[in-house]
Structure 1
């Protein structure tokens, strides 16, 4: 008999691990500065020129440390994914981008200023001699690549790119870091051979690039070869919406939970070059799995047309949008549009007693009720309440609900009277999800009980 889970205890363990990760993140930056100061850097603050130069070195060390931490967060390390989830890891990764860039730009400006002060205060004249230093041109190229990555990651700029184009540009960050390493080890004697600083930085580079190599390349290849996944069939369930069925070997061994996603790559002439982060719409069996895709662009349209027998490679499973993230005994689920896909798998996999789960399905039109029949059947079989809401968004009440229901006085708490004792899972379009999440927080439900899956990048 499977022992009963204690969601609160599991959440407390995960919260402790998350705190340790946060401490390690900030401690790495502090360690970079402390090792410099302890290795003679503290004695260099002897004059205005030396102070400016030393601050430039510290800024460069901390900025580089942040870049390596960003790579670790983007490496999809299972421990990090199980602790804070892929979405939060990437959010922290993005939040470090600007500070890292500012520190590295400050590194260059402060060093030019310091060298200029020592030669008569003409920083511009120091650019030529600095570029003549060993490995410095590589560092300048790395800086240019990093600026490109950060600028294209800004929301306003990112929206102008397709996901494929943006992802290709983002890969430049690996080259940016690699180009910076030679000058870090060879210029200025800061990381002289045999020093603790040099050992620390080489270890940090090994961890960052080792994690990328292991979890972004080696592990997915091994997993794909082991499970031999192919397309078994493609079914149209609504105009522009298809379910892709897979067959494979020992798919339960993937350890996937309902609500999680994989990175899928379909090996055809038109699709091999692009990977797709898509949630499961059914929990894998020993030999089958399924995703459901809405045609939202050229990429999704191409994979919706793949033929049976197409070979598929995978990365994952990823994400904490699953039963593992539960902190409360009861379950509240709200999904809109194609957001029902991970919800359907979550409902199939989640542990709850009859009467402890409530589902609300939302659609603007009747032809957007994807997989609703399956969800209703699962809800009935498992003793969960299932409500539906169809119609255009309200203009007078909360914008996440239909106009008809808003006029009837429906609220989040009338649908979910036990919301305070529930984990709330939300999945759907970003603007709709933001609206409902705002109302949920206004009820006083703690943040750790809200789990949101946004369909954007």
Structure 2
């Protein structure tokens, strides 16, 4: 372990001689209120679909009918699955108010949970109806499924949509994501839109719950609004911003072997209102494959004139960045993320980074408000030569009073830990030793998925409140 101690510099003073520190940190009251409103809207949408099921008489029939009772819970499973598909569209739209209210890490968890739950409910809907009609009409399961596809309106489209959503679900599993590059996974993920588009017409055409015209119009309207939000925030706004700001590559710099920084310039970048700690989805128009977008965090605090990203070369897309030429045009989406000053509630802060996870943390330490001795960085990398921005971090320690602790060494293999392989202490004990007053800190964590979970768990056990732990994972 090596450590860069902050320089002993006098505190800044106002003109009247009183000490000047960073401005007070305000509580996230507005974000909490917005999060509660969005959560209430989610439960209201579920309640609406359940009410449609009850109004259609399914609850009473399920209780009183002795023949074919599986159809009614099957219908409910289909309705709940349809509602979660609507939620998926809203989440994929990356609506700024939702992003700021929940934060990216929480939204990723909600997205995965709602996606897999929706798929499981859809499969339950199909299986329950197959068994119901097999028992009721004396068909085989395959015969029942064939009859449903052949006779029900919209079922051919729904079958194709279900297969597409099943492919998306399989490729979204953790095991599959480990074997896929980001752009391949993202391309397959786009089939979600087509799958939902093929499934929804069957629900409206064939569902007895949607016989009243007002229910059809309302449900179609909800899906249309979700699709409109997705087109607006994921296509129209990014295209207009890219045209307005005309971002281009300024230069490419190798930071350490295998890690390059791309400096970007454009018109009126201050109007983007990007914050240290945020990320963009970037598309570099350098030839074939430029349409593939990749999320890269800012590695320097935005100054209104220049943006910088720093990327570890791990795949074909990231290796291409080394060859970018000055003047290459750039399309972008964003800024995204709440790994920023907005999440901060405490005066003191601890930043924990692993590997290339230092990129948004480096920007945070440059952009956040704090005084000398109020910020700590714990930075783990495989070896001394793998510490990216070491000179910049040492300069921040001298200029701003950050206490930087370098932790060289590979990850511990036999257990999940945020510490390097030579560590002997338990995770939370080591963290408490390095930052004795961590309970008074906001804790910003960025790194690989398992490492980030270990660091967050150690911070909680060391005394940091869960609401003061802000986690940004480098995973998709």
Query: 1:371-408 CA deviation, whole Å, 9 max, x = no partner?
Result: 1211222233223322323345568999533466758x
The count of corresponding residues between Structure 1 and Structure 2 is 455
Separation of aligned partners in 2, 1:405 and 1:305? 39
Conserved? CA contact 1:72–1:212, under 8 Å:
yes
- The answer to whether 1:449 aligns with 2:468 is yes
Which residue, 174, 179, 186 being the options, matches 1:160?
179
5 Å matches for 1:334-413? 334-392=352-410, 399-402=417-420, 406=424, 411-413=430-432
- The answer to whether 1:266 aligns with 2:284 is yes
Conserved? CA contact 1:323–1:350, under 8 Å:
yes
Residue 42 of structure 1 deviates from its aligned partner by 4.5
Runs of 5+ unmatched residues, structure 1: none
Structure 2 equivalent of residue 296 of structure 1: 314
Change in 2 beyond 3 A, CA 1:194/1:405: closer
- The answer to whether 1:68 aligns with 2:86 is yes
- The answer to whether 1:171 aligns with 2:201 is no
Separation of aligned partners in 1, 2:207 and 2:437? 63
Structure 2 equivalent of residue 140 of structure 1: 159
How much is the aligned-residue C-alpha RMSD, in angstroms?
2.7
Residue 27 of structure 1 deviates from its aligned partner by 3.0
What SS does the aligned partner of 2:231 have?
A: helix
Separation of aligned partners in 1, 2:419 and 2:467? 23
5 Å matches for 1:164-203? 164-195=183-214, 197-203=215-221
Query: 1:114-138 CA deviation, whole Å, 9 max, x = no partner?
Result: 3344434655433333222222100
Which residue, 28, 38, 44 being the options, matches 2:55?
38
Structure 2 equivalent of residue 51 of structure 1: 69
Change in 2 beyond 3 A, CA 1:41/1:225: same
Conserved? CA contact 1:185–1:191, under 8 Å:
yes
Separation of aligned partners in 1, 2:208 and 2:382? 64
Change in 2 beyond 3 A, CA 1:115/1:362: closer
5 Å matches for 1:98-137? 98-120=116-138, 122-132=140-150, 133-137=152-156
Structure 2 equivalent of residue 19 of structure 1: 36
Separation of aligned partners in 1, 2:347 and 2:149? 62
Separation of aligned partners in 2, 1:7 and 1:199? 46
Which residue, 28, 43, 52 being the options, matches 2:45?
28
Runs of 5+ unmatched residues, structure 2: 1-13, 15-19
Which residue, 230, 236, 242 being the options, matches 1:212?
230
Conserved? CA contact 2:52–2:209, under 8 Å:
no
Separation of aligned partners in 2, 1:319 and 1:97? 21
Conserved? CA contact 1:59–1:107, under 8 Å:
yes
- The answer to whether 1:414 aligns with 2:430 is no
Q: TM-score scaled to structure 2, two decimals? A: 0.88
Conserved? CA contact 2:416–2:451, under 8 Å:
no
Conserved? CA contact 1:397–1:403, under 8 Å:
no
5 Å matches for 1:302-341? 302-341=320-359
- The answer to whether 1:248 aligns with 2:260 is no
Residue 413 of structure 1 deviates from its aligned partner by 1.9
Conserved? CA contact 1:262–1:315, under 8 Å:
yes
